Amino acid sequence: MRILIKSAAAALAFALPLGGSAVTPAFAQTGGYTSAGFQTYLPELRAQALREGVSRRTVDQVFPTLVFSARTIELDQAQPGGTSGSVSTPPFAPYRQRHVNPALISGGARRYAQNLPRLQEIGRRYGVTPSVLVAIWGHETSYGAVTGDFDLLNSLATLSYEGRRRALFSSEFVAALKMIDRGVPRSRLKGSWAGATGYPQFLPSVYLRVAADGDGDGHADIWQSQADALASIANYLSNAGWKPNTPWGVAVRVPAGFDRSALRSRVTSPRCQRVHERHTRWITVAEWRRMGIVLEGSAWPRDTELASLLEPDGPGQTAYLLTTNYRTILDYNCSNFYALSVGLLADAVSR
C-alpha cells in the first residue's frame, strides 16, 4: 500500500546583502526545510494530537523524541510530478517479470502450503480468496523480508511539517500515536518513508480501521505474526467489497477486428481516473463470449458475472476480463499493473 505524492519542489530565493545567493547542498535537497523549522512546527502538531483524542501520556512520551528526517523530504520531493494531458503508459511485461517472478512464485507457494489451514479459516471468516492474501503480502514486502526501516513518527511528522499534503500526513501521524495508545510499542513503528508499515504496508489509519487478530492471541501484530497480517489484509479486502467465490479476472485474447469503440466506459471515476479510464464498461461474461473473446486462462468466471476488459499493452497482446474483485485490489493500491500482478501471482502460488 503506497502513497504517490505529487512533487512540487519548493523554490526559495534568499536575498543577501551583496546581492548574491547561496544555498548549501543539504539545504537545497530538503527544499529549504530545516530541523529548526521542524521544531517550531511541532507545537501545532502536538495541539492537533491532543485535540483529536491522543492521550497526554503518549504525547508527552513521543514529542521530545521527534527528529527531523531530511531523507524523507528528499524522497518525497523526488516523486514523479502530476502532469496534464496524455501520458504514455510503459509496457506491462517488464513490471510483470519483476513482480511475478520465480522467486516470488516459489516463496508464495511455500508459504501458501505452510499456512493453508490458517488461510482457509481466514478465507471463510472474511470471504476472501486465500491466495490473493499471500500475493499481496509477497508484492508488498517479499513476504516480510523488506518492510522499511524509517521511523514512522519522524517521517510522518516531517511530511506534515513540509506541508504539501499536511492534512493527510498530520492525520496519519495522529493515527500512529493512537496505535501507541492501543498498546503498539514505538519500536514497532518502522516502515516506508511515506508511513506504510508491517507485512501488509498499512498506513496507521488503515491499521486502526482493519488490523485483525488472526492467531487468537488478542493482538493485531502485522509486523511479526503472519496470521495477523493475512487476516488484516483479508479484513481490508472484505471491507472494500470483495465478492466471495469469484475470481479477480482471467486472461483472454481479443479477436482481430474487434470494435472497441462501443464498449468505452461512459462513467468517470472519482478516484484514480487514469487507472479506470483504461477499462471498458461492464457487461456480462456471457456477452463477452458472444462477442468472440477467447479464453487464455484456466476457466471462465460465471456467465452472469459482470466484467470489464483491460488491454494493458494495447490491441494484439494478452488482455484481461476483470471482475469487481479486481477493483477491490485497486482499492488497496490504485495501479493496474499492481492489481494485475497481484492477481497473476495469486493464481501462480495456488496452482
Tens of pLDDT, residue by residue over 203-228, are 999 999 999 999 999 999 999 999 99
pLDDT at position 24: 43
Question: What average pLDDT does the segment 258-269 reach?
Answer: 87
In a domain, 12, yes or no: no
Q: Are residues 262 and 161 in the same domain?
A: no
Q: Are residues 74 and 159 in the same domain?
A: yes
In a domain, 22, yes or no: no
Q: Decide: 135 and 100 in contact? Cβ < 8 Å.
A: no
Amino acid code (one letter) for 212: A
In a domain, 117, yes or no: no
Residues 6+ apart with CB under 8 A from 194: 2, 3, 5, 75, 76, 155, 159
pLDDT at position 20: 36
Neighbours of 62 (CB within 10 A): 20
pLDDT at position 32: 86
Q: What are the tens digits of pLDDT across the range 303-336?
A: 999 999 999 999 999 999 999 999 999 999 999 9
In a domain, 74, yes or no: yes
Instruction: Show which of 200, 231, 264 is a domain's final residue.
Output: 200
* Domain count of the fold of the chain: 2
In a domain, 135, yes or no: no
CATH number for the domain harbouring residue 187: 1.10.8.350
Q: Decide: 129 and 323 in contact? Cβ < 8 Å.
A: no
Q: Are residues 74 and 152 in the same domain?
A: yes
Q: Are residues 72 and 152 in the same domain?
A: yes
In a domain, 222, yes or no: no
Residue in 194, 167, 177 with CA at minimum distance from that of residue 77: 194
Q: Are residues 266 and 168 in the same domain?
A: no
In a domain, 345, yes or no: no
What is the rounded average pLDDT for all residues in the chain?
A: 90
In terms of Cβ atoms closer than 10 Å to its own Cβ (0-12, 13-18, 19+), residue 154 is buried
> Residue 300 sits in which domain range?
249-322
In a domain, 218, yes or no: no
pLDDT at position 89: 78
